[in-house]
Amino acid sequence: MRQRRKTDTERKTMRAILIALALTLATLPAWAQTITPVPLPPEAEAAVKKGLIAANAQQWLIAIQSFQEARKSVPADAPVLFYNLGLAESKIPGRELRAIAWFGAYLAATPNAPNAAAVNDAIVGLQIKNQGNLNRLIKTVQDAASQTTQNKEGHLSSVARLLAEAGDATSALKIAYLLPETEGHGDDWRGGALKAIADAQLDAGDIVGAQRTADLILVGKDLTEEKIAEAQLDAGDIVGAQRTADVIHSVEFKPGCLIADAQIKARDIAGAQKTLASALKNADLIQNPYVKSLEQSHIAYVQMKVGDIAGALRTADLIQDGYVKSRAQQDIANARSKVGSTSNPPFFYDWLDKIDDVNTLNDCALNTGPFLDLAGYLKALPPSDDLQEVFHGLFDTAFKIAKAQNIIYKMQKRQAKQ
């Protein structure tokens, strides 16, 4: 019993130390002191204590490592750790997007936090820093492009795409119109650049700008129009998506299933059924058997969601590809228990997925080189006397950062609406 009282005393003392340390972190902004420490398991408390001591000594990497260690022994929704990690990562140049994501997770887990306004102000400051870093990197990419003598059109097209992804569509369009229309291929170079610019504008949430850019494309813009319709649906503009779908010529790119799904979510069941009937007619016109099978499987699944089980099964029976057919039938069977379900995981898990992602093939894997140590990552690029290789290394890095920036910003906007 005496030993237990001693343990309780030690724990109270440790908590007092944690609070004292949190209140004496002179290197952190004043608003950083407004979060209230919460009880944690002993091993987590020890790791947090070490992290706070490291932060007080401005040893940010050690602080981050300690806070990450604490995550291993606490529930996934421990907002105090998201908060501490956001503060620590914000102190390391080049980690702005990671810091924003940590703060995003913190606000998702505690939307009514007393310091929410100040955290949002800090996020704006981090956005400005990240954009400044990206602008400097883009200038380096442009300089590298100007020094190359081979494939000038390809490099200019890439620069236009990068500028648009970074939010400078005006400069991107100016470059696009410097590109020639390749003889025998319609508007190949220019059209390719315009399509990439429209895609980038959609990434940045500029649907109106993407529509204007799409209007400039002379050949093969159906895929771009489909992407615009998808973005309109994401923004809740079902009517706008229907108008966009009407101008798409190829039946393979008509987003009927997506529109019907949005109508279901909007409780417009009659509208969804009408859209699905039209989608079935369009699917029957698709020449490629495999593509037709995929479209029919999508239609069957949405029919299931609208409650038309018999119709979904009839559509699945039309599918020619054996594998796609069996998958569609299995999806229908699985969906029966999920129709009408509204349960979703907490939104902070979306942030953690980005922060912990180490897959370099993903567009927003924040636990990879460019987001952990940009300067070191650039220095580590393979040295080469080939200016084209140098250009591509710089471009790939800049585009990855711009792409991730847009993904993070869209997540913030979506969270703000919830």
In a domain, 288, yes or no: yes
- What pLDDT sits at residue 365? 95
Residue type, 341: S
- The 3-state secondary structure of 134-196, one letter per residue: HHHHHHHHHHHHHHCCCCHHHHHHHHHHHHHHCCCHHHHHHHHCCCCCCCCCCCHHHHHHHHH
Q: At which of 292, 310, 343 does a domain end? A: 343
Backbone CA torsion sign across 272, 276, 279, 281: negative
Q: How far apart are CA 292 and CA 317, in angstroms?
A: 13
pLDDT in tens, 272-320: 999 999 999 999 999 999 999 999 998 998 888 777 888 888 999 999 9
In a domain, 162, yes or no: no
In a domain, 32, yes or no: yes
In a domain, 335, yes or no: yes
**DSSP character at residue 94:** T
pLDDT in tens, 1-46: 333 343 454 444 344 434 333 433 334 444 344 444 557 788 888 9
In a domain, 278, yes or no: yes
- What pLDDT sits at residue 335? 62
Q: How far apart are CA 101 and CA 399, in angstroms?
A: 19
Indicate whether this model's pTM tops 0.85: no
In a domain, 198, yes or no: no
Lowest mean per-residue pLDDT among 14-28, 52-66, 141-155, 270-284: 14-28
Domain that holds residue 286: 249-343
- What pLDDT sits at residue 309? 84
pLDDT in tens, 165-213: 999 999 999 999 888 865 444 457 888 899 999 998 998 889 999 999 9
- What pLDDT sits at residue 416? 86
In a domain, 417, yes or no: no
Q: Are residues 258 and 272 in contact, defined by beta-carbon separation less than 8 angstroms?
A: no
Q: Are residues 160 and 197 in contact, defined by beta-carbon separation less than 8 angstroms?
A: yes
Exposure of 298 in the CB half-sphere (CA atoms within 13 A): 21
Residue type, 310: A
For 285-386, where are the alpha helices, taking DSSP H only?
289-306, 309-318, 322-335, 348-356, 369-372, 374-379
Q: How far apart are CA 123 and CA 98, in angstroms?
A: 11
- What pLDDT sits at residue 400? 96
Q: How far apart are CA 104 and CA 109, in angstroms?
A: 9
| Pair of tokens at residue 209 | 């700008």
Total domains in the fold of the chain: 2
Query: Distance of CA 58 to CAs 15, 95, 108, 211, Å?
Result: 21, 15, 27, 48
Q: At which of 312, 343, 374 does a domain end? A: 343
pLDDT in tens, 326-376: 988 887 777 655 544 434 456 788 899 899 999 988 899 999 999 999 999
Percent of the chain predicted with pLDDT > 90: 56
- What pLDDT sits at residue 265? 80
Residue 77's pLDDT band (boundaries 50, 70, 90)?
A: low
**DSSP character at residue 342:** -
Residue 74's pLDDT band (boundaries 50, 70, 90)?
A: confident
- What pLDDT sits at residue 355? 95
Calculate mean pLDDT across residues 224-237.
93
Q: At which of 328, 343, 358 does a domain end? A: 343
- What pLDDT sits at residue 336? 59
Helix (H, G, I), strand (E, B) or coil at 274: helix
- In the chain, the N- to C-terminal Cα span, in Å, equals 49
Burial of residue 56, with CB atoms counted within 10 A of its CB: 0-12 exposed, 13-18 middle, 19 or more buried: middle
Residues 6+ apart with CB under 8 A from 275: 256, 259, 260, 263
Q: How far apart are CA 119 and CA 108, in angstroms?
A: 12
In a domain, 16, yes or no: yes
